[in-house]
Amino acid sequence: MTPQRAGISFREFAICMMAIVNREALRFVGQRSRFLSSLVRPMVWLIVFAAGFRAALGLSIQEPYDTYITYETYIVPGLIGMVQLFNGMQSSLGLVYDREMGSMRLLLTSPMPRWWLLFSKLLAGTAISIVQVYAFLALAALFDIRFSPLGYLAILPVLVLSGLMLGALGLMLSSTIDQLENFAGIMNFVIFPMFFLSTALYPLWKMAEASPILRDICALNPFSHAVEAIRFALHLDINWASLGWTGMAFAVFFAISLIGYDPAKGSMVRKAR
């Protein structure tokens, strides 16, 4: 349902969202190095890491695959997730910057409901992450790592959901960060554990071989579910459980973010003191 509030028309809601998306897009266009690094990072993993894994002999068959696959094929959904994870965190970094520079105050004084402002911000970040994902997939195709043409289309709705979820995670974290410098902490304590303790690089059965606890952590990690949802979609299959988990994680992260950004309750109050 389209949001509606007394005194604010649908058109105004749309204008507000477009403005936020435009601003985010402009910022992204201005940051060429960000785009470049968003491509280089997964490509390095794909080419260097996958090559070192001796995966040419194939990975054991597991859902959703019907036959043996190379390791390169296996990690692509995980790297797509990585692109979105980094982008989600970078968008949140942008919010911290906005807050420090004062432009956030301007945004938050808008008459639009706060959840709409934050949701628009998330959607803008997700759109940018999707551009990065397709650029990465195009580059991977040049290296002969290809998928079924319909698979590229099928991942789009999943990418919207996973992008929103990872963006909401960033939003939630940004509401607790006071300064830009703390982003390094996010890298160490959020991005890396989330990425490594997931099904992005190794399948669950491989993790179970190492340790059952590791396996359980991986299975609980919402990033794993985002990656699996992308993996299934890329293979023209649907993993309802993973989609459900990703959707639920989005709802929780977004709800906490709303509290965090509520001037009456969350950390904003704490910061104001």
Partner 1 sequence: MLGNITKTVQLAAVLFAGPAFADEIWVSNEKDDTVSVIDIETMTVSRTIEVGERPRGITFSKDHKVVYVCASDSDAVQVIDPQTGEILHDLPSGEDPEQFVLHPDNRRLYIANEDDAITTVVDTQTRRVIEQIDVGVEPEGMAVSPDGKIAITTSETTNMAHWIDTQTEKLFANTLVDQRPRHAEFTHDGSELWVSAEIGGTITVFDVATQSEKTKIGFEVKGVHPDRVQPVGFEMTKDGRYVFVALGPSNHIAVVDQKTYEVIDYLLVGRRVWHMAFNGDESLLFTTNGVSGDVTVIDVAKMEPVKTIKVGRFPWGAAFRPTP
Dmax over Cα atoms in the chain, in whole Å?
A: 63
Least spacing, CB of residue 67 vs partner 1, in Å: 4
SS (H, E, C) 74-123: HHHHHHHHHHHHHHHHHHHHHHHHHHHHCHHHHHHCCCCCHHHHHHHHHH
| Cβ at position 259, least distance to partner 1 in Å | 49
DSSP letter at 217? H
Residue 241 lies near partner 1 (rule: CB under 8 A): no
Contact predicate 69/58, CB 8 Å: yes
Looking at residue 81, its amino acid is G
Do residues 220 and 200 lie in contact, with contact meaning Cβ atoms separated by under 8 Å? no
Residue list 66-95, contact with partner 1 (CB under 8 A): 66-70
Per CB under 8 A, does 205 bind partner 1? Answer: no
Q: With CB under 8 A as the contact rule, which of the stretches 2-10, 54-62, 184-192, 253-261 interacts with partner 1?
A: 54-62
Decide if residue 51 touches partner 1 (CB under 8 A). Answer: yes
Q: Which of the ranges 18-26, 65-73, 86-94, 216-224 carries the binding residues for partner 1, by CB under 8 A? A: 65-73
- Return the range that interacts with partner 1 (CB under 8 A); candidates 48-56, 114-122, 185-193, 228-236: 48-56
Strand partners, 5: 8
The residue among 55 and 217 lying less far from partner 1, judged by its C-beta, is: 55
Q: Does 56 bind partner 1 (CB under 8 A)?
A: yes
- Give residues in contact with partner 1 (CB under 8 A): 51, 54-58, 60-61, 66-70
